[in-house]
Structure 1
């Protein structure tokens, strides 16, 4: 654990050729010294979308922007609203109104309470000051960088396509306490039930992934949370799509190490990104 790291890494071509902004909010592997967790680091790491930013390394090469958090989501989750905070975690009363959602009830809010249903992260309450510090040092800089990239692309091109990049555990349904009649898909595309992204773009991503041999679901079990909700306004040509990848496709969930499938998946995502680039050029976004 250390504190000598920047909140995020931003990669872009020297001349951004496309209005494509991608972000990986949960792939961070730098754990701040003040975390104060009561469980071992290896258990904390189960919350990571480890290696997701590397899977999508082709994004800057084709003229898009890729932003990846360096801090871990179990420390503070940039894909939650500031109101989505569990008051039971705090040693005092939060001065602003809170609106914890269903995932917060399960332990996965702005500040995670659990890494799984049976394992709590802390054996203490968090002070208001340390939560404020996490927000100011990590959450806000990440959001500011993403917002600047999105708005910059929109101002330049008159449109923007945002991909919110994640990976999902193989037992996602179990973690979410969902009884599913079918196995978890290789990819889950989330557009909050058709509200955050133009249908043609979602269809393009789905068809390309299926052509590459993957199974694909929409909004099952992940619809997308704060980031695509705040960015996606397709009527204004502001499109936002969440993409979840089933982790066993590319890594060992226990060790977090890349598996033999990593290279193939990375190459396939490179092909997908090239097809997305062609689509955006056809839309007049270049």
Structure 2
């Protein structure tokens, strides 16, 4: 069975991961909506934007399965039980109202709706197939991220983890709790400064602002499961979610790369270079 997760080991304190850029649609997906619509859920080309990172000694983890098949940036408790019809999901289910608001939008661990509110399935899912997705996709992905951060921290005494994403220029109806909101060029999230130091996070914001980009801090994306689960700022393990506006590098309708790609990648290279020279313990 082909692995749906890949990773490259690093030598630096920096770890990057891309959980939503996967384009391998498993044969057992069984979706009913049209594929072009479903593909708009992808963080398309994010893996290409950061393809320079491994050569700089940066650890890289990448999901090859699509986000709509299983969202690695959700906890395994974020189950939309309506997917099972009359069947009972026997494992723990999230009870936090704030988390459940995303599940109600159809954006739990297993997506029920596309970003524009179109049902993905015309069938009920089985408990067995969802558990298999968790075992094949979620567990190895999180294991790879955890191992890379642990190795970076062991080598250097600290780690900086960037959780790499892209976002549409304008939020769709079922994408966030702020439908129709026009996004900044970048959104930097650390769950209200609980997953990374304020100084380090604002250093990233300031660097991008100095490069001429508009930057939002913790709105509308604060960071979700990957930064929450794998961070511990008190022990010098910093995790930050980086959202890039797709209009900067691609055509959102055709998914084709545009002329802005090269300039954006150069900016990301400068950001990575900065972080490779940054020791958050010094602050």
* TM-score after normalising by structure 1: 0.92
Q: Tell me which residue corresponds to 2:7.
A: 10
Runs of 4+ in 1 over 3 A off after TM superposition: none
Q: Tell me which residue corresponds to 2:131.
A: 132
Q: Tell me which residue corresponds to 2:67.
A: 73
Offset at residue 116 of structure 1 (A): 2.5
Contact residue 173 and residue 184 of structure 1 kept, 8 A: no
Q: Tell me which residue corresponds to 2:15.
A: 21
Q: Tell me which residue corresponds to 2:276.
A: 277
- 1:107-146 equivalence runs, <5 A: 107-146=106-145
CA distance in 1, matches of 2:179, 2:139: 36
Relative to structure 1, is the Cα distance of residues 219 and 158 closer, same or farther in structure 2, using a 3 angstrom cutoff?
Answer: same
Matched, 1:38 2:38: no
Relative to structure 1, is the Cα distance of residues 28 and 220 closer, same or farther in structure 2, using a 3 angstrom cutoff?
Answer: same
Offset at residue 123 of structure 1 (A): 0.6
* TM-score after normalising by structure 2: 0.92
Relative to structure 1, is the Cα distance of residues 116 and 179 closer, same or farther in structure 2, using a 3 angstrom cutoff?
Answer: closer
Offset at residue 179 of structure 1 (A): 6.7
**1:181-236 deviation digits (Å, cap 9, x = unpaired):** x7421000000011110122112111111111100001110001111111222111
Matched, 1:89 2:86: no
Q: Tell me which residue corresponds to 1:50.
A: 44
SS in 1 for 2:257: coil
CA distance in 2, matches of 1:259, 1:235: 41
SS in 2 for 1:125: coil
Contact residue 236 and residue 281 of structure 2 kept, 8 A: no
User: What is the aligned length?
Assistant: 276
Q: Tell me which residue corresponds to 1:169.
A: 168
Contact residue 29 and residue 72 of structure 1 kept, 8 A: yes
Where structure 1 has 5 or more consecutive residues not aligned to the other structure, the ranges are none
Contact residue 83 and residue 125 of structure 2 kept, 8 A: yes
How large is the RMSD of aligned CA atoms in angstroms? Answer: 1.7
**1:131-152 deviation digits (Å, cap 9, x = unpaired):** 1111111111111111111111
